Amino acid sequence: MAAAIELADRDGIESISMRKLAQELGVEAMSLYTHVRNKADLLDGLADAVIGQIPTSTDGADWKASLRQIVFAARGVVLRHPWAPRAVQAQTAPGPAALHYINAVIGILREGGFSIAQTHHALHILGSRVLGFTQDLFDDSGDLEPEAAASLASALGQSHPYAVEMALAVTHAGTLGPCDDDAEFEFALEFILDGLARLQQS
Amino acid sequence: MAAAIELADRDGIESISMRKLAQELGVEAMSLYTHVRNKADLLDGLADAVIGQIPTSTDGADWKASLRQIVFAARGVVLRHPWAPRAVQAQTAPGPAALHYINAVIGILREGGFSIAQTHHALHILGSRVLGFTQDLFDDSGDLEPEAAASLASALGQSHPYAVEMALAVTHAGTLGPCDDDAEFEFALEFILDGLARLQQS
DNA sequence: CTTGTCGTCTTTACATCGTAAGGTTAACCC
DNA sequence: GGGTTAACCTTACGATGTAAAGACGACAAG
């Protein structure tokens, strides 16, 4: 398992094959099947192993602080293992670590005074963000060069003015500066936490 | 392309192979490479084709109504093609349809009075929801039988009380009833739209 | 009518993949 | 010491993506 994580960190998750992982361990491919039912099982284990790395202990004063703390911890793990979102998404069933984690999250909300229904809604609103990542429409974190920006503007400016305006604003020279994913994640999380607080009071 | 969509609808997206798709078209596998650079290119095309099915015209009175309308339209398409989220996520670069769509979404917000910075934040908050789907932690839409629920409660009730409480509440017999994904999606969207309205005013 | 170009489709081939079936080996218990 | 068991190995099969080279018809230029 540890070897698989190391391999995924180095070469990406889609380059994990039974043969390569076995080679990493100085062993033949088929030997892995004594410890794992099949490849899907292995990947499920991988996903659960990453989730297991998230510390679930919280010392937050209230539910908001605790939730923020646990989600940031999750994000830290995800940033260390960029393949984690893929692995989690491919998961067929939640493993023990996932169960432990989700139990901790639900616990924070319930102890914080959320009803079951409110907690359920909160989980759906948070979605994968509670695990430290989000699926965006496209990657806007890459900073494109001025020349590329110019050609983009002239090529698509007519047909897609709003998209181009936004793309240009997010460049290094644009009005917003390059997109800071961490800051955006934090902003979105805070946005949702505030909304949840309002939801709870109503 | 149409044949690929049909095949994906029928057998799921991971069962799309060059040979099977070719067979569907009464042709050999290698013939596809005259029309497509490689398989990744094909899947990108698939993703863009689904996005292209989303109507981008809106007759909403304000930005909120328009955004709601376009997102629900997107959700309709996604529900018709359950493999769409996977395809969109695997996309390497946004295609023309994706560009057109994102331009429409940004346009709604900008015309609705959102600044560029606010619009940028909104996109990150909405994430994939703007395309009609969300990545959840786990699938809670399946309704489990009473016996399974009982064994679950006795097996994990001690170690994971909050998770079990939630799982039981979401069964048919539970206090919340079975999870209605559509209702949850709508609730979460409305939650975010309300938050965005507040964001705009501040 | 011939000749050459071009777009489409085919054939063959190769490396890589997951894994089924069966065999070997070393540790350990009675 | 015979039997059990867990870990590992060898061989093999079918499926996959795609590189390389060719076949065949349509069509424009000579």
- pLDDT tens digits for range B148-183: 888 888 888 899 999 999 999 998 888 999 999 999
Q: How many whole angstroms separate alpha carbon A137 and alpha carbon B79?
A: 18
State which residues of chain A have pLDDT below 70.
142
- At A123 the three-state DSSP class reads helix
Q: How many whole angstroms separate alpha carbon A110 and alpha carbon B175?
A: 15
Q: Which residue of B has its CA nearest to A138?
A: B94
pLDDT for residue B144 is more than 80: no
CA of A67 to C1' of C12 (A): 59
Q: Which residues of B88-100 are buried (b: 16+ CB within 10 A; e: fewer)?
A: bbebeebbebbbb
Cβ-defined contact of A121 to B191 (cutoff 8 Å): yes
Contacts of B99 (CB under 8 A, 6+ apart): A156, A160, A163
With a 7 Å cutoff on the CB, does B175 touch strand C?
A: no
In a domain, A113, yes or no: yes
Residue A154 burial by Cβ neighbours in a 10 Å radius (0-12, 13-18, 19+): exposed
Picking from B116, B123, B188, the nearest residue to A125 by CB comes out as B188
Picking from B169, B185, B191, the nearest residue to A195 by CB comes out as B191
Cβ-defined contact of A169 to B116 (cutoff 8 Å): yes
In a domain, A145, yes or no: no
Picking from B94, B119, B137, the nearest residue to A102 by CB comes out as B137
CA of B78 to C1' of D14 (A): 33
Q: Taken in order B184, B189, B192, B198, is the CA torsion positive or negative?
A: negative
In a domain, A154, yes or no: no
Domain residues for the domain of A19 are 2-138+180-201
In a domain, B137, yes or no: no
In a domain, B86, yes or no: yes
In a domain, A146, yes or no: no
Q: Which bases in strand D are touched by protein, i.e. have an atom under 7 Å from a CB?
A: 6-11, 15-21
For chain A, the domain total comes to 1
- A28-55 pLDDT tens trace: 999 999 999 999 999 999 999 999 999 9
**Pure H helices in chain B:** 2-11, 18-24, 39-52, 63-80, 84-90, 96-111, 116-126, 146-156, 161-169, 181-201
CATH number for the domain that contains residue A128: 1.10.357.10
- A78-95 pLDDT tens trace: 999 999 999 999 998 899
Q: Write the single-letter amino acid at B98.
A: A
In a domain, A171, yes or no: no
Q: How many whole angstroms separate alpha carbon A126 and alpha carbon B28?
A: 46
Q: How many whole angstroms separate alpha carbon B139 and alpha carbon B181?
A: 10
Cβ-defined contact of B99 to A156 (cutoff 8 Å): yes
In a domain, A158, yes or no: no
Alpha-carbon distances of A14 from A17, A86, A123, rounded to whole Å: 8, 9, 29
| CA angle at B50 for the pair B13 and A90, rounded to the nearest 5° | 35
- B84-142 pLDDT tens trace: 999 999 998 899 999 999 999 999 999 999 999 999 999 999 999 999 999 988 777 76
